[in-house]
Chains A and B, each alone.
Chain A
Amino acid sequence: MVTNTSDSMAGALDMLPKKRQKISAFNEKWLIFKENFIGRAGLILLSLFALMALLSFIPPLIDPMYHPMTGVDPKISCSVGPSIHHWLGTDFIGRDILSQLLAGAKIAFMVGISSAFISIVLGTSIGMIAGYFGRYIDAILMRLADIIMVMPTLLVVLIFSSLFGQLNIWTIVLVIALFRWPGVSRVIRAQTLTLKQRPFIEAAKLAGASPIRIILRHIMPNVLPLSLLYMTFRVSSAIIIEAALAFLGFGDPSSVSWGMMLQWVWKTGHMFQAPYWLLPPGICISLITLSFYMVGRAMDEVLDPRLRKEDD
């Protein structure tokens, strides 16, 4: 009943009994995702980090000593290694490293997801508008994207912070978001251009649909999976940028992020003296970016059947 591989899905579905089982597109994709090893590993890692972020609310409840920022253990006056009271040791003024690490997970998620979300919303809408309307709107938006794309994000943020003094964490989120949309919008624009040629868009036009309706109803659902994919990559890069900023001393001094922890290690000269202090934030940064990347890779395979391995 089947001619070739590309037909095999349609063929298989043709043979379903009359009462079709309703498989939503999402469920089907989720099934493929679940079978992907990289995706599963990434998700497990991510949920560990999410658990850390959730747990970060607990230590301050137990004892003010465990408050990541202000909780100083009165018995300790310099950085010491792991002990029963402080599982990962303390920093130079006796603050608990484990509770700092947990708080850092919270910040990482916050910074990563919110800035990625903003840049995706911006990039997707700009990409769709540029792609659909074309001509001078396209030209203006894409030149703007080019300009922003070639600006070195880190450098600009550094200039910003030296202009306005210490930036708070939300400003950092916003700045990262504003600088990371052009890549997304390029991809979405290209996707929109190919969608625009498809007859179902023309059919909608013939039905009298306005451009806004066509974009929202016909183009957006078809580019959204791609946006989501790009969001996972953007999360990784936002976390790294934030860590770099904090490490360089331009972070939000009132929040404890992993980059901030690294900066404290560096500034107090504990780089090679206190591996129990240096390694946890470093490993966490690498692993969380890796896990988002792995999820993204798996999503990529779900969305692009060409990357999928032949089911054998």
Chain B
Amino acid sequence: MKTTTKLIVELDHIRKVYRSKQTFFRSDQKKIIALECLSMKIKRGEILGLVGESGSGKTTIGRLIVKLENPDTGKIYLDDKDISLLKRNSLKNFRSRLQMIFQDPYQSLNPQLSVFDTVVEPLIIHKIGDSTSRQKQVNQSLELVDLKPPADFLDSYPHQLSGGQRQRVAIARAIVLKPEFIVADEPTSMLDATVQLQIFDILLELKNKLNITILFITHSITAARYLCDRIAVIYRGHLMEQGPAQDVMTNPKHPYTKALIDAHPKFGYANKKQYKTLLKTQREPVNGECCPFFIRCEIAKMGVCDIKTPELKKKHNHHSVACFFS
């Protein structure tokens, strides 16, 4: 399989702010900045891992790309076309090209629909094929996600399936339209370790067999290392580090990435080197512009990190970092 360097999705200076609801008694709106001027490129045929803590804005990126939400400022391009301009028919066409897999398999399937009804629905909506060809396509999808033989599952309802099986059904629904791009939003965080690996293998197969590009959103750097070609680390709406998976893991540049790797349970390998980039006690936050990681960063220097936000700079070999001291 050749990896082309052609882009499929490009995010250009995306900013997204959530505002708390204005009520009659409280006019002060609380602003939560989910994404701050974030630019990112996703290449066709790769699995890009987006790693970050909860609240870092990683899920927001996924939702923006599939157009479940719209950015406040900035543009998102799919194959060089601005997706904010899509209307009606072109939007429907767009929908068939991008799909999403959600985090919680217990919530992402309609409890009242059988497996067949769930998976066939996109085909009905897009008026693809007749009933026999649809049946065939549903079977193919279920086989691709390892629900074999499909006949055993077609008439089941979600409550009769285990968590792993539900997630497979959700993946089958996402691929039945043969999309080019899938956003997988923490698809395994609710599943057991052994089941998790099976889901990862399915995602790898989708990439290799169907040449689907995947944005894999996760909080686990090990999962990203296992699955992804490239990794992007995001912190409080800012992209901190981006590069080939192996590079980022073995040679992390950003103190936050290092802290993430440090924090990962050692599993008995006690002599592993520690980067120790995390402050024991946090600094007082700075008003105005500063590095987003400043308050927790061990290596931050006053007069540098607290007055300017570092920009993402290319270091070498497609590996780029947003830190003054890398």
Q: Which residues of A does B touch, CB under 8 Å?
A: 9-10, 13-14, 16, 18-20, 22-23, 25, 198-200, 202-210, 213, 217-218, 221-222
Contact = CB atoms under 8 A, between A and B. Distances in A.
Contacts of A209: 121, 125
Contacts of A18: 152
Contacts of B92: 208
Contact of A206 (B98, B109, B157, B159): B98
A204 B110 CA distance: 9
Given A199-B102, A202-B102, A203-B102, A222 B66 contact: no
Given A9-B159, A200-B107, A208 B126 contact: yes
A207 B67 CA distance: 12
B96 interface: yes
B157 A25 contact: yes
Contacts of B113: 217-218, 221
B173 A222 contact: no
A16 to B, nearest CB: 8
Given A208-B96, A218-B110, A221-B112, A203 B173 contact: yes
B100 interface: yes
14 contacts: A13-B160, A14-B162, A18-B152, A20-B156, A23-B160, A25-B157, A198-B108, A202-B68, A203-B170, A203-B173, A207-B99, A207-B177, A208-B91, A218-B113
B95 interface: yes
Interface residues of B, number: 34
B108 A206 contact: no
Interface in B87-120: 91-92, 95-96, 98-100, 102-104, 107-113
A20 B154 CA distance: 11
Contacts of A22: 155-156
A19 B96 contact: no
B159 A10 contact: yes
B199 to A, nearest CB: 16
Contacts of A210: 125
Contact of B152 (A19, A206, A221): A19
Contacts of A206: 66, 68, 95, 98-100
A51 B125 CA distance: 46
A294 to B, nearest CB: 27
Q: 5 tightest A-B contacts by CB?
A: A208-B95, A221-B112, A199-B108, A207-B122, A199-B102
A243 B301 CA distance: 82
A25 B112 contact: yes
B250 to A, nearest CB: 35
Contacts of B155: 22
Contacts of A207: 95, 99, 121-122, 125-126, 173, 177
A198 B111 CA distance: 11
B87 to A, nearest CB: 13
Nearest to B94: A208
A90 to B, nearest CB: 54
Contacts of A208: 91-92, 95-96, 122, 125-126
Contacts of A200: 107-110
A222 B177 CA distance: 26
Chain A: interface secondary structure?
helix
Contacts of A222: 110-112
Given A199-B103, A200-B108, 6 more contacts: A14-B162, A20-B156, A25-B111, A205-B68, A206-B98, A221-B113
A213 B68 contact: no
A262 B66 CA distance: 65
Nearest to A16: B160
A10 B156 contact: no
A202 B66 CA distance: 10
A14 B161 CA distance: 7
Contacts of A202: 68, 100, 102
B321 to A, nearest CB: 33
A270 B106 CA distance: 63
A224 to B, nearest CB: 9
A93 to B, nearest CB: 55
Contacts of A9: 159
Contacts of B109: 200
A199 B95 contact: no
A10 B68 contact: no
A23 B162 CA distance: 16
A203 B100 contact: yes
A209 B109 CA distance: 15
Contacts of A19: 152
Nearest to B109: A200
Contacts of B122: 207-208
A108 to B, nearest CB: 33
A13 B95 contact: no
A221 B117 CA distance: 13
A202 B69 CA distance: 11
B159 A213 contact: no
A298 B314 CA distance: 66
Nearest to A24: B157
Contacts of A221: 110, 112-113
Contacts of A25: 111-112, 157, 159
A292 to B, nearest CB: 26
Nearest to B153: A20
B104 to A, nearest CB: 7
A241 B224 CA distance: 65
B107 A199 contact: yes
